[in-house]
């Protein structure tokens, strides 16, 4: 199971890095520019810190799935990704919208990006873990 855990962390990290690029550097670039007083400038963004944050988040996402007592399957992983993503999306996106002067469109785009990333992360994790009950030792 440890090899599957490591592989899932690497795959989901790369997947989420790519999706973050699309959401933040492509879809929301103009929105960030319009509210640039709220964010660090491009030269001040700490990319390495963002990679560490993403890595810890991915590690928790995959480890929570791996430690769950439920039988592992692609379907259960996608459900897990959806529920995880829904909770995180609402909390981060609309929590930020409620406390900062950002446009609703930005919050919705963040939420959609988080939800899609989590579902795809669940799918990737489910495909890697396959159909097994990881609570038992694999032979």
Instruction: Dump pLDDT digits (tens) for 40-85.
Output: 988 899 999 999 999 999 999 999 999 988 888 999 999 999 999 9
Select from 5, 139, 6 the least CA-distant residue to 72. Answer: 5
- Predicted confidence at residue 76, as pLDDT, reads 93
Which are the contacts of 14, defined by CB distance < 8 A and separation ≥ 6? none
Which are the contacts of 55, defined by CB distance < 8 A and separation ≥ 6? 9, 13
Q: Is the dihedral of CA 21, 24, 25, 27 positive or negative?
A: positive
- Predicted confidence at residue 14, as pLDDT, reads 98
For the segment 88-99, the average pLDDT, to the nearest whole number, is 97
For the segment 111-126, the average pLDDT, to the nearest whole number, is 97
Residue 128: how many other CB atoms lie within 10 Å:
23
Select from 132, 7, 113, 106 the least CA-distant residue to 62. Answer: 7
**Would residue 130 be called left, alpha or beta, if left means φ above 0 and alpha means ψ between -120 and 50 degrees?**
left
What is the percent of the chain where pLDDT is above 90? 85
- Predicted confidence at residue 133, as pLDDT, reads 53
Q: How confident is the model at residue 21 (pLDDT cuts 50, 70, 90)?
A: very high
From CA 107, how far away is CA 78, in angstroms rounded? 23
| Mean residue pLDDT across the chain | 92
The model's pTM: 0.88
From CA 98, how far away is CA 91, in angstroms rounded? 10
Map residue 51 onto helix, strand or coil: helix
For the segment 15-20, the average pLDDT, to the nearest whole number, is 96
């Amino acid at each position: 199971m440890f090899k599957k855990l490591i592989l899932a962390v690497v795959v989901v990290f790369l997947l989420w890095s790519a999706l973050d690029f699309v959401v933040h550097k492509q879809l929301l670039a103009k929105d960030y520019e319009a509210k640039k007083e709220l964010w660090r400038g491009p030269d001040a963004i700490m990319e390495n810190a963002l990679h560490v944050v993403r890595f810890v988040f991915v590690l928790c996402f995959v480890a929570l799935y791996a430690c769950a007592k439920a039988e592992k399957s692609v379907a259960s992983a996608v459900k897990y990704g959806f529920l995880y993503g829904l909770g995180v999306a609402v909390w981060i996106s609309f929590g930020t919208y409620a406390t900062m002067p950002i446009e609703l469109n930005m919050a919705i785009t963040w939420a959609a990006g988080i939800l899609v990333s989590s579902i795809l992360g669940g799918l990737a994790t489910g495909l890697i873990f396959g159909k097994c009950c990881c609570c038992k030792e694999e032979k």
